[in-house]
Structure 1
Amino acid sequence: MLQSIVTAAEVPDISEPDFVALDGRLHRQVAEASGYPLLLHMWDSISTQFEQYSLRVIGMPGRLERAHADHCGIVDAILDRDHESAARHAHDHVAAVQLELQKASRTRR
């Protein structure tokens, strides 16, 4: 399932809304695969807000491509059952998005 989501997101010229929808599916599948019911419940409770947020930031230059590359790294590590690598990729993904948002907010001032 994870690989099929990443593959679907590789379509050249994928629309931002289509990518965001796949992104949400990927996040939910990762939460489900974690085996932690609380993580899945948390995802389900924020998924609508996540989608709204993602639709606003996905248009940042290069954000879609970087998100997809990050997702590929995370999924590859999960499929390889390399939990440390998956955690590292996920951490790096979140940190990169945070930095991009901080830079964007400084630019707008």
Structure 2
Amino acid sequence: MTDTVGKIERVERLRVSDSVAAQLVQLITKKSYAVGEKLPSERVLAEQFGVSRSSMREAIRGVEASGLVSSSHGVGVFVVSNTVHSQSPPDLLVFEDFTVPELFEVRRVLEGEAAALAAQRLTPTTGTELKSIIEQCADPDLTDEEFVTLDVELHQKIAQASGNGLLSTLYAGLEPLMQEYSRRVIALPGRREHAHKGHIKIVDAIVARQMKQARAAALAHIRDVEHDIAKRMAKPST
């Protein structure tokens, strides 16, 4: 029997504690907790968030690493800042009114079905447009900002290709969030290359009119982003 253990790469995923940390950071940055204020106990917070105390403890450690809170053994955890510094791990998970784990949940619902329906209802014109965007994204001279613009355009075009006007309208409402989110994650190591490879797989499946493969490629693309963010979250803040 061949030993395959050494060949298997562990799949990084965002943890429950990451999602909780994102929500806690959101509360602090929106000043639900003021600077100098003591947070509720770990037990109370765990009950409020509906998670285990171990997950809550890990979440607090993550928030503390961002510089928003400071813990004092036997005394408690206190808010020391309401501002997240750009490029710190929590900055990858929190926006003003929502968290990235929430965005992922919505993207899985919308993008998976959009890709499947696009594969079923694709027109020759739209197929050509999708291929054109992929070709433009392959240009190594593109700036990250230009790549992000094309990235969002591609996903919006796929939503339009679904032939479902409501789905397209819903996705269009996400466009400003997608732009901001993509700008934050594009600088992660390998993110641009990973995104482009994911886009190619999605478009290839759509153009081939393979509904199941298109849905799977769209969901894999989102998991890949989660993988890259999880790897960054696992690294100590610098």
User: Is TM-score (shorter-chain normalized) higher than 0.5?
Assistant: yes
Alignment of 1:49-64 (within 5 A): 49-64=177-192
Which residue identity is paired with 2:139?
Answer: V
Of 34, 54, 65, which residue of structure 1 is paired with 2:193? 65
SS in 1 for 2:205: helix
SS in 1 for 2:142: coil
Matched, 1:41 2:165: no
Which residue identity is paired with 1:51?
Answer: Q
How many Å separate the matches in 1 of 2:182 and 2:151?
Answer: 9
Q: Partner residue of 2:82?
A: none
How many Å separate the matches in 2 of 1:103 and 1:80?
Answer: 33
Of 200, 210, 213, which residue of structure 2 is paired with 1:82? 210
Which is greater in Rg?
Answer: 2
Shift of 1:103: 2.2
Matched, 1:97 2:225: yes
Matched, 1:12 2:153: no
- Which range moves more in the overlay, 97-106 or 14-23? 97-106
How many Å separate the matches in 2 of 1:74 and 1:24?
Answer: 14
TM-score between both structures, scaled by the size of structure 1: 0.94
SS in 2 for 1:81: coil
Pick the structure with more helix per residue: 1
Which residue identity is paired with 2:186?
Answer: I
Structure 2: segments with no counterpart, 5+ residues: 1-128
- RMSD of aligned alpha carbons: 1.1
How many Å separate the matches in 1 of 2:133 and 2:152?
Answer: 10
How many Å separate the matches in 2 of 1:102 and 1:66?
Answer: 14
Q: Are residues 72 and 108 of structure 1, via their aligned partners in 2, closer, same or farther at CA, if it must alter by over 3 Å?
A: same
Shift of 1:108: 4.3
CA offsets 1:48-102 (integer angstroms, 9 cap, x no match): 1110110110011110001001100100110010111111111111111112212
Q: Partner residue of 1:27?
A: 155
SS in 2 for 1:26: helix
SS in 2 for 1:50: helix
- The count of aligned residue pairs is 109
Shift of 1:41: 1.1
TM-score between both structures, scaled by the size of structure 2: 0.44
